[in-house]
Amino acid sequence: MKMTMKAWLVPVLAVAAVCLGTTLAAQDKEEEEGNPAAAAKAALSARVSLDRGLAASASHGRPISAKFETDEGKSQLSVYTMKGDKFFEVSIDPATGRVIKAEPIADGEDYTAAQSQSSAMAKAKVSLRAAVATALRSNAGFRAVSVTPSLKDGRATADVTLAKGEELKTVSVPL
């Protein structure tokens, strides 16, 4: 059986287009999720501050990190919390400050990150909210984009990412 060039070219091109579209969509999503500029834009356009999001999430446990992010083109404020020995990702509406959902974190990269952040917070003498307030006090005009605790030389510190217009910077605050 002989196939004409047209008969086999159409399905091949269709498959290529689907593969390319899927690859580009995945690439856009990765760039969006890991893009500090997109996170800064989300923070600067939000009505709710990172501090207010940390306060709202407290009903679902002790906040152990927080960040503005863009997920599927939509801005959100994500706060990791710990209640007992369980971790949760609490999504806060950046327009109202209300909790949208709280989902358990049970495995994967998110769980590993939550464990590390929890270890840092166990040694902390101040809250993440206090760390954010300290960072903002010495950086007038900036807005907090994220706060992530870690252990550095056995001491708890929080890296607070701040944004002002196009400018981004990270300030390390002792916990």
Q: Are residues 18 and 46 in the same domain?
A: no
Nearest to 69 by CA among 165, 132, 161, 146: 146
Q: Are residues 24 and 50 in the same domain?
A: no
Indicate yes or no: pTM above 0.85: no
Give, in order, the Cα–Cα distances in Å from 28 to each of 40, 76, 94: 17, 17, 22
Q: What is the average pLDDT value for the chain, to the nearest integer?
A: 82
- Residue 81, pLDDT above cutoff 50: yes
- Residues 13-58 have pLDDT tens digits of 444 444 444 433 333 433 344 567 777 787 777 788 999 999 999 9
Q: Are residues 5 and 88 in the same domain?
A: no
Q: Are residues 118 and 129 in the same domain?
A: yes
* Cα–Cα dist 79/66, whole Å: 4
Instruction: Supply the range of the domain harboring residue 84.
Output: 36-174
Q: Read off the pLDDT of each residue in 68-75 and give the average, rounded to a whole number.
A: 82
Q: Are residues 3 and 84 in the same domain?
A: no
Q: Are residues 157 and 114 in the same domain?
A: yes
Task: Identify which has the larger pLDDT, 110 or 15.
Answer: 110
- Residue 157, pLDDT above cutoff 80: yes
Q: Are residues 23 and 70 in the same domain?
A: no
Q: Are residues 25 and 75 in the same domain?
A: no
